[in-house]
């Protein structure tokens, strides 16, 4: 599995985790993990923007 397509819930490397979660746009409907890329969560749902 390529590092840039790693699932946030399985990442243990803190540098990679920070890279994947920075400016999160998606949340996993299963575990709640947040990520910038849709491919980095198992069950992606768009994050609602803060009002």
Q: In this predicted structure, what is the pLDDT of residue 5?
A: 86
Q: In this predicted structure, what is the pLDDT of residue 2?
A: 61
Structural domain count, the chain: 1
Q: What is the 3-state secondary structure (H, E, C) of 19-38?
A: HHHCCCCEEECCCCCEECCH
Tell me which residue range forms the domain holding 7: 3-46
Structure tokens at 40: 């980095």
What's the pLDDT tens digit per position in 17-46?
A: 999 999 999 999 999 999 999 999 999 999
Q: In this model, does residue 9 exceed pLDDT 60?
A: yes
List CB contacts of 30: < 8 A, sequence separation 6 or more. Answer: 42, 43
Answer yes or no: is 51 within a domain: no
Q: In this model, does residue 1 exceed pLDDT 80?
A: no
Q: In this predicted structure, what is the pLDDT of residue 20?
A: 95
């Amino acid at each position: 599995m390529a590092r840039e397509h790693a699932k946030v819930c399985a990442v243990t490397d803190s540098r990679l985790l920070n890279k994947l979660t920075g400016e999160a746009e998606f949340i996993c409907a299963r575990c709640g993990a947040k990520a910038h890329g849709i491919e980095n969560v198992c069950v992606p749902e768009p994050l609602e923007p803060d009002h």
